[in-house]
Every structure is written in structure tokens, then in C-alpha cells.
Amino acid sequence: MKDIIFKGCGTAIATPFKDGTVNLDEFKRLVKFQIENKADSIIVCGTTGESPTLSVDEKIELIKCAVEVSNKKIPIIAGTGSNNTKKAIEMSKIAEDLGSDGLLVVTPYYNKCTQNGLIEYYKSIAKSVSIPIIMYNVPSRTGVNITPETCYELSKIPNIVAIKEASGNISQVAKIASLCKNNLQIYSGNDDQILPVLSLGGIGVISVLANIKPSEVHKMCYDYFDGNTQSAGKIQLENLSLINTLFDEVNPIPIKYALKKIGFDVGVPRSPLTPVSSNLAEKLDKLLQNDN
């Protein structure tokens, strides 16, 4: 069995902005909040962190900050994927040099490469670094799906250790688990499917909800691991309305609003994303008020 980067709740952390620039002081607060509230890892510069709009220098600042604040308390995983293999390799090397514990590497987007193209992409990145890699499969955003058969081929590479599965296709998750067994661990990439993925042998989630509820997502996972499936199921279902509402508009628009409501000055998403609509803000206000 390959080494596991983390088990349980990995928070896909948001990036705070102020006056158009990264707000590192508030980012430190977010990282500390996650550590203090039982997140099992933090994923920096992912989709929720608005990585497509971040410059290389900004990514370096954020990764470096997270690594320093965490100080090995929990793993820091850096999002380094790209639709340009060369850029993905360069960013992966930088993240490793900055002290990242692992990499989250999304499939190339827009290019719509073949399965052979995916294999070459991940092989090239894996050869360039020595730290563990989590593949990120999110075809609704990228236009590309990593098939179970491709997962099996890539699971043969020593430092490709896991996949964040956000296809929404539970049958596909089951086939990946069946083919790859312990050579490729599975994280849910969807907050509404945490328990279904865990029931197929998954070891955790890379979560948007955990930005505001890290302790609950952690508890859900570990209740399940400890055999308390009734409690885990209760947490999953109690949060389902909030989870669904956090995706009524494209992520991270709603979660940045929710973070502001609980006291974090994260600003608004960068263009081309927009601030939350008034209708969705009202829905989120009610759901968050009901939680208090």
C-alpha cells in the first residue's frame, strides 16, 4: 500500500482578496482556523482558491504562507495542474521546493486531450517531483474524464497515490476502487457524496464545506471510520441543504460569502467570477442562521 498524504477532511481553502490583491494576513487566519478546528489537511491554490486567476508569484506566496503557518501540524497540498504540461511541471517543482507535502493536479482543461494524453501528462509531472500526487478528476469543469482504466495505468506510478473524484459518477468510483485497490486511494471531490465514496473504500474528502465547518466534516469522516455510520450519515444529511446551496452559483462564489458571514474578510471572487447574487445571499443567510 502506498503512503497516504492525509485521511479525513481536506479543506479546499479559499483565497482572500483585498483591493484586488491577495490578503495574506487573512489567509493566515483561515489556515489557523482550519488547524484549530480539526481539518486534516489544507489544499492551497485549488479551484476554491481561484487558481486560474492567481499569478505564479501569488501562488508562491500562498503556498509558502500555508506551509509556514501549518509548521507540519497538518499536511499542505498545493494545486499545480495546468492545461500546459510544462507549466504544471514548473509549478509542481516550485511547490515541492516550498515544502508542500503533496500536490493536487487537475486534468488539463480546454485542450480535451485523449486518455493517452492524460497518461503522458501525469507521468511527466510525476517524474519531475518526489512528493505524492493526487490526481483531480472534475470533468464538469475541464471537459475531460479520467477513466477507471486510465486510473489503473497511472496507479502503477509510485508517487501517484490518490485521486480526487469529482465526476459525480458513483459507478465510476466503484470501478476505480475495484481496479486500483490500495495502489490508488480515493477522496470524494463532492461534499454531497462523502459517505457514498467512503463506503466504497474512500479515505476522505477534499471539501468546500470544510471552509466553514471543518470540525463537522472531520467528525463525519472519522465517525464513519470508527464504525459510527449512523452519526456520520446524520451529519451528511443535516448539511445537505447547505452543501447544495453552496453550489447554486459556481464555486467559490457562495463559499466566499459564507466565510464573510462567519467573520472572515475574504473579499469577493476575482473576475470573471462575480459577487454572490442577492437571492442566493438570502438563502445562505437563512441556512447559516439556522446552524447557530
SS3 content of the chain, % helix, strand, coil (to 5): 50, 15, 35
For residue 152, indicate whether it is catalytic: no
Mean pLDDT to the nearest integer, 51-58: 97
Whole-prediction pTM = 0.97
Comparing 230 with 2, which gets the higher pLDDT?
230
Comparing 1 with 194, which gets the higher pLDDT?
194
Fold of 8-227: TIM Barrel (3.20.20)
Nearest to 208 by CA among 177, 265, 248, 172: 248
Average pLDDT value for the chain: 97
d(CA 199, CA 102) in angstroms, rounded, equals: 25
In this predicted structure, the answer to whether residue 122 has a pLDDT above a threshold of 80 is yes
Task: Please identify which residue in the block is written with the cell numbers 447547505.
Answer: 242
As a whole number of Å, the CA-based R_g of the chain is 18
d(CA 157, CA 102) in angstroms, rounded, equals: 15
C-alpha cell at 244: 447544495
The string of pLDDT tens digits covering residues 60-109 is 999 999 999 999 999 999 999 999 999 999 999 999 999 999 999 999 99
Q: Which of 59, 121, 122, 164 is catalytic?
A: 164
C-alpha cell at 167: 465526476
Q: Phi, psi at residue 286, to the nearest 5°?
A: -65, -45
In this predicted structure, the answer to whether residue 125 has a pLDDT above a threshold of 80 is yes
d(CA 210, CA 13) in angstroms, rounded, equals: 8
Provide the pairing of β-strand 17-18 with 21-22: antiparallel
Mean pLDDT to the nearest integer, 223-243: 98
First to last CA, the chain: 42
Element (H, E) at 29: helix 24-36
For residue 164, indicate whether it is catalytic: yes
Percent of the chain at pLDDT above 70?
Answer: 99
The string of pLDDT tens digits covering residues 162-220 is 999 999 999 999 999 999 999 999 999 999 999 999 999 999 999 999 999 999 999 99
Q: Which of 121, 122, 136, 222 is catalytic?
A: 136
Provide the pairing of β-strand 133-137 with 41-44: unpaired
Q: How confident is the model at residue 3 (pLDDT cuts 50, 70, 90)?
A: confident
Q: How confident is the model at residue 1 (pLDDT cuts 50, 70, 90)?
A: low
Q: How confident is the model at residue 291 (pLDDT cuts 50, 70, 90)?
A: confident
> Which residue ranges make up each domain of the chain?
8-227
Element (H, E) at 42: strand 41-44
